[in-house]
Each structure stands twice: as structure tokens, then as C-alpha cells.
Structure 1
Amino acid sequence: MKKTILCSGNEAIGEAAIRAGLRFYAGYPITPQNELTAYMADQLPRRGGIFIQSESELAAINMIYGASAAGARVMTSSSSPGISLKQEGISYISGAQLPAVIINVMRAGPGLGNIWPAQSDYFQATKGGGHGDYHMIVLAPASVQESFDLTRLSFELADRYRIAVMVLSDGLLGQMMEGLTFDEELAPPAAVEKPWALTGARDRKPNVVRSLFMKRPDVEKNNLVLQKKYRRAAAREVRYAETFMDDATMAVVAYGSVARIAEAVVRRLRAKGRRVGLFRPVTLWPFPSKRLADLSRRVKKFLVVEMSYGQMVEDVRLSVEGRAAVSFYGRSGGGVPTESQIERETLRCLSAPLKKRGR
């Protein structure tokens, strides 16, 4: 039976994680994700899991490293400065090929910044904020419902690839209230076989989970295994959403909460006869580069709108490879682009003459 409730984005993530089979959560309070930690503290112990408020973000990430190595479904959450503190542990988790879900409810920076929403952690999430050649799958919801759905998906992907998966939310999505619909009688997920986990070796050879390899060939061998799984994920897990892109001559590119604002602008301009569409990446890694490359063969103008001063725009430019003009509009430090600002920039982009490409 389907059930619809009024729910915040942070609480939706918490409920989705429990329904996805989360058994161990460790986190440390920080605004604007505190509702998620509070939800975990209240609900997870009642429903068969373990909640720990750790003494720090560093402790939290290393606790989920250990619990994941033992075979549990694990999650931690924080906001931007807290995720920065977790970066070393995220790199270790990636090097050890452990599944883990990491939630970042982004706030303004750099430094402590403020508690207002931002999207300036894009580079940190998609380019690897820690050391080494690693990737996380990065999912970007644009609603409370997607916060729920993509969190459930993140646990499946983490186990499928033995990889860290990040859900990249922000202060707007985390604290806004919307209707959330889910299957009230949904059965818990089946247990995932993890023959690599550290579950005791009485009847088998010991397993070893590590990211430290003292011999150079062993380090490179582990890296090649990682790169193979990243290529597999990049080929299979790209996700995006399109609005009015079938006949668009110009596309607005935005993700997360900014995409909601941009969609209202696109719909208003469509009503006025403007052939504008919206392209919304849902996976920020792997980035939907191939689809954008295909679109750039007929769509010659792109406007990237972000709550940053220019991060995802670099991936858009790399994707279109000079076949189309790419403009940018951004605000950050807690500044949220308004509909009037996005409409102004969209009309400016529409009216700008195309520059002829040199030979």
C-alpha cells in the first residue's frame, strides 16, 4: 500500500536508508543536516540498527570503514566542512574497495562559511577530495521524493560496485517539506552476499581488507582493479532528466535545487514560444557527457546555472568540446539564483550572436 507523508529532505534520506537495510550509522552534528542525524538517533536503534554520535567527523568516517569491512550496510552524513574532515577516510574506504553511503547536505563556504545552501562542493565530490586515483558515484536529488529514491539506490550501487556513493543534497533540499510517497509494506532488501567481509575465519581462509600495499606492483594492481570498476560504472550508471529538450535550440543545465528554479523559468519561456529546454544531471559522477555531446550537435547554446562560481560548467564545456557556446551564471556564499535572474541570463544567452568557429 502506498503512503504519502509530509517530510523534510533530511528525514526522507534517513527513512530511505533504514528501508534500504542500513545497519550502522555514525555521524557528528552540523547544520543544515542535523535533522538527518536526529532521525537516525530516534529511528535506527528501534528498527534493528546501530546509531553512534561520534566524537568527531574523523571518527565517524573511520567507524563506517570498520563496520563496512565487517559486511554491514553503512552510512555517514555531514555538511560541507564536515565532509572535508572525512576526505582521508573516504580515500581509505575507496582504496579498500568498501561499499559506503555518504550524505553531504551542502552549505556555503569556503571555511566555516554559513549555514545557507550552496553547490560549491561539486569539485570535492566529483573530482576526488581526498588523495589518490579514486571516484565515488555521486547522485544529485532535486526534490524530497528524489532524496528518498536516490538514497535507496545509493545502497544498491555501493554494494554492486564495492564503492563509496555520495548523495549530494543542500540546505534547501535538506530542510524543505514536501510530500513523500513510498510503499508502506515494502519488504526489506535481501541480504547481499559479501564473501570478502571480515566475519571470522573459523571455516575459511582469512580475508584481508586494506588500502596499504608495501610493494609497488601491488599498489598499481589495486589501482587497475579500481579503474576497471569505475569504467563499468561509468558505462552503466549515467542518469539525467530532460525537460523540453526534443526541439530546444538552447538548454539550461542545472542540478539539484537550482534545477527546480530553472525549470520554472524554462516552462514560463516555453509558454511565450521560446524553444528553451532544461538538462538536469542526476549523476554528477559519472557525468552524462555523452548525452551532452550528442545534444551539442544540434543545440548550439548552453547556460549553466549553479550555486557556485563555476564548477559543473567545466564538465559541460568538456562534454560539448567546442561545438556549442557555453555561458555561465552562478551565485554562492548562500546566494540562491532567483527566477528573474535566471530568466534574464537565459534571454541574454538566447539573443547573443553565435561566434563562428575557426578552422
Structure 2
Amino acid sequence: MAKVLMKGNEAIGAAAIKAGCKYFFGYPITPQNELPEYMSRELPKNDGVFLQAESEVSAINMVYGAAGAGARVMTSSSSPGIALKQEGITYIAGAELPCVIVNIVRGGPGLGGIQPAQSDYNQVTRGGGNGDYKLLVFAPANLQEMVDLMQDAFDAADYYRNPVMMVGDGMIGQMMEPIEFKSPSKRYELKDKPWATTGTKGQRKPNIINSLALDPAELEKHNERLQVKYNEMKEKEVRYEVYNMENAEIVLVAYGTTSRIVKNAINELKEQNINVGLIRPITLWPFPEKAFDEIPTTCKSLMSVEMSMGQMVDDVKIASNGRWPVHFYGRSGGMVPTPEGVIEKVKELVGGAK
């Protein structure tokens, strides 16, 4: 199949439609605006419905309703917009409903700016809403991977009956790259949705979808059952890439477009006889702790490289389990790390060129 040159936000929309998305509810915010614009034009052509809500809060509750009816539904936003959706997201997770949420991250805190960032890491991996819930979180590094993961995102949402989040920084949304729309992976064995509120047709009792449980014993059992599902995700959904790990003196940890910058730095350092490896989380949750078991004995330390003030460092420390010291290099507020900056920091840690 021929490749097509597309902008990231539009490629997300095209991939979602190919994955069977029929409903989109959202509200404009930079730098993801091309995605709802694309869906407003293309969804109706594919027997779908686009609706611009009056706010992010309204949009996520519309997602709740469509998901409750068993439809493939998604929403998208950027950082402060995702923050506004958090109450609805925890309701959806509590009610065990499938949906896909796209976050094209911009710099913060607060309204911040419109430039790319990764400063929503804690929000998406720790949960910005109340209660003991988790989202499966994908973080693609390029547009092809993002397009490929969209099918898995919708399928995983249905399989686990859980919200799935796709996270990309502003560059992912705005860059253009050639992509190929491949056949579905069929990774998940999907079943019908007897729980959906589609009308009884006189053949069954009404389905009730709710996240309220006033009996504490009942709510505890519900939470325990959710944990079984989250543990299954930890067992089956961890995804990562390792790069240039052989004889690495230091291993960098980076995700998304930052990992591409890191790879350029690693290749330049290799020419200077400095061996540096990379662990790239593809799932931010579950975090790929098992990848750290592949680190060679030559490694002396780790360094997290981020477009934030070090939000992933805690997960790197947990995964390292005290085996290596953990350092940090990052830029914030919409500033993007450069290969030169990464190289300089690595040289400080390993003692210069050899």
C-alpha cells in the first residue's frame, strides 16, 4: 500500500475512523485543533457523528454516554483541556466503559503555552481524577507508530472495558510524515457488549451503567475486581524499545519525540567512542520495568531525558531498584531538548570523550 503524507493530528483522525470510531466529542484547543477539524469533515462521510461540545466537561460526559451505548467513541484535547476532563475520565473508568482519549501535550502549568511538552506524564500515569483507577497509556514516537497504535487503542479499550489514552507532544500533532494504513493487527479477541444500554427490546432486563456504590463492601469488591484487570494489563500490555544497548556505559530513558532526539545524540556519541543505550517506553502505563533487566553490566548510571522537569524520574528509579544512580536532563515550558544538550550532559556523567 502506498504511503500518504499527512499531518499528525489528521493522521490520528484517519486512523481512528479506520479503527471503527463512529463518534467524536471535543472542544478546540491548540495544538490539537486539526484533529477535531478533520473529524468534523470526515466522520459524517463514514456514518459517524461529530459534535463540538460547549466545553471539555460536556465533551467527556458525551463520551460517557456513547461508550455506555457500546459505540466506538473518542475525544481529544491538550493538557489543560484534559485536566478539565478528569472527573469524567474517572467516572468512565469506574463504570468500566471503553473509549479512546488523545492528549497532544503543551507546556504548563495552567494555560501555559502552545509549544510541545511532556509535562502531563504524572497526570496520565497517576490519574488526575479520584479513586483507584488506571488508564492504558500509549506514547508513540512517530506518526507511523501512532497510526498503528490507534487500532490497538480502540481494541484494547473494548477488550478491557477501560479508557485508553494516546499521548503525543505538540510536535506529534503538528509534524508531517509519510504513513501507511496497515491491516488491523487483531491482537485482541473481542466479544459482544451485552452490558451496553441499547434498549431491552423486551428480551432482557435493563442495563444500568453507573460508578456510584454507596455500600463500602460492594465498592471494595468493585475496586478489587478493577485491580485484577489492571494487573492483566501489566502482564500483557507492556511495550518498549531498546536501542544500542550493547556495552552501554550509560542508559538513557526517553519516550515520544524526545527519544528521536536522544537517538541522534547516541549516534553522535558512538562516533566519539562513548557507548550509550536507550530504553524507550511505548506504554507509559504500564511502565516497562522489565526493560531494565536488559541493561548490560557495563552500565554505570541511568539518565531520564524529558520535555518536563523530571516527572518520569520516579518511575525510572522504581524500575532501576537501586541498581544504578539515576540522573536527569530535560527542558520545560515548550523548550525542546537538543542532541547537543544531551551529548553535553552525557559527557559530564561519563567523564568526557574517549
TM-score range, shorter chain: over 0.9
Letter matched to residue 318 of structure 1: I
Mapped to 2, the partners of 1:185 and 1:123 lie a distance apart of 31
- CA shift for structure 1 position 249: 2.5
- The CA deviation at 1:65 is 0.3
Aligned length: 350
Residue 185 to residue 172, structure 1, CA distance change in 2 (3 Å): closer
The one-letter code matched in structure 2 to 1:330 is G
Q: Provide the C-alpha distance between the structure 1 equivalents of 2:255 and 2:148, rounded to a whole number of angstroms.
A: 16
Partner of 1:340: 340
> What's the RMSD between the two structures over aligned residues?
1.9
- Partner of 2:85 in structure 1? 86
Q: State the distance in 2 between where 1:296 and 1:126 align.
A: 27
Inter-partner Cα distance in structure 2 for 1:62 and 1:296: 47
Per-residue CA distance 1:96-127 (angstroms, 9 max, x = gap): 00011000000010010110011000000000
Are 2:230 and 1:230 aligned? yes
Identify the residue that residue 330 of structure 1 maps to in structure 2.
330
Aligned partners of 1:65 and 1:325: how far apart in 2? 43
Equivalent-residue separation in structure 1 for 2:107 and 2:81 (angstroms):
12
Residue 120 (1) aligns with residue 131 (2): no
Stretch deviating more after TM superposition (225-234 or 265-274): 265-274
3-state SS of the aligned residue for 1:55? Answer: coil
Counterpart for residue 263 of structure 2: 263
Which runs of no fewer than 5 residues in structure 1 stay unpaired? 353-359
Q: Which digits, 9 at most, give the CA deviation of each residue in 1:137-164, with x for residues without a partner?
A: 0000111111211122111111111111
Alignment deviations for residues 37-84 of structure 1 (CA, whole Å, 9 cap, x no partner): 111001011011111101100000000100000000110000000000
TM-score under structure 2 normalisation? 0.95
Kindly state the Cα deviation for residue 186 of structure 1 after the two structures are TM-superposed: 11
Question: Which deviations, in whole Å up to 9, do the C-alpha atoms of 1:282-340 show, x marking residues without a partner?
Answer: 00000001221452765331111101001111100111111101110111111111111
**3-state DSSP of counterpart to 1:227:** helix
Distance 1:258 1:194, change over 3 A: same
Whole-Å separation in 1 of the counterparts to 2:183 and 2:277: 36
Corresponding residue number in structure 2 for 1:180? 179
Which residue does 2:48 correspond to in 1? 49
Unaligned runs of 5+ in 2: none
The aligned runs of 1:191-202 (5 Å cut-off) are 192-201=191-200, 202=202
Distance 1:47 1:191, change over 3 A: farther
Shift of 1:36: 0.5
Separation of aligned partners in 2, 1:337 and 1:8: 22
Q: Are 2:209 and 1:209 aligned?
A: yes
In structure 2, the residue matched to 1:357 is none
The aligned counterpart of 2:167 is: 168
> Could you report, residue by residue, the CA deviation over 1:245-281 in whole angstroms, capped at 9, with x for unpaired residues?
1332211110001111001011111233221111100
Structure 1 residue aligned with 2:35: 36
Is the Cα contact below 8 Å between 1:303 and 1:349 reproduced in 2?
A: no
Contact 1:240/1:279 (CA < 8 Å) preserved in 2? yes
Seen in structure 2, the aligned counterparts of structure 1 residues 157 and 184 have a Cα distance that, compared at 3 Å, is closer
1:166-205 Cα distance to aligned partner (Å, 9 max, x none): 0011111110011111248999x99851111111112012
- Structure 2 residue 287 is matched with structure 1 residue 313: no
Q: Which amino acid in structure 2 is aligned with residue 114 of structure 1? A: G
Is 2:238–2:283's contact at 8 Å kept on the other side of the alignment? Answer: yes
Counterpart position of 1:131 = 130
- State the AA in 2 paired with 1:235: E
Shift in alpha-carbon separation, 1:297–1:97, aligned structure 2, 3 A: farther
Q: Report matched runs for 1:340-359 at 5 Å.
A: 340-351=340-351
Q: How much identity, in percent, do the aligned residues show?
A: 51
Tell me what 2:219 maps to.
Answer: 219
Matches of 2:54 and 2:259, distance apart in 1: 36
1:296–1:320 CA contact under 8 A, matched in 2: no
Aligned equivalents of 1:340 and 1:285: distance in 2?
29
- Given the two structures, how large is their TM-score scaled by the length of structure 1? 0.94
SS in 2 for 1:182: coil
Give the alignment of 1:124-163 within 5 angstroms: 124-163=123-162
CA distance, structure 1, for counterparts of residue 262 and residue 99 of structure 2: 32
Q: Does the CA-based 8 Å contact 1:300-1:323 persist in structure 2?
A: no
Instruction: Provide the residue aligned with 1:26 in structure 2.
Output: 25
Q: Secondary structure at the match of 1:3?
A: coil
1:8–1:175 contact (8 Å) kept in structure 2? yes
Match of 1:283 in 2: 283
Structure 1 pair 148–71 and aligned structure 2 pair: CA distance change class (3 A): same
In the aligned structure 2, how far is the partner of 1:261 from the partner of 1:147?
17
Q: Distance in 2 between matches of 1:314 and 1:185?
A: 35
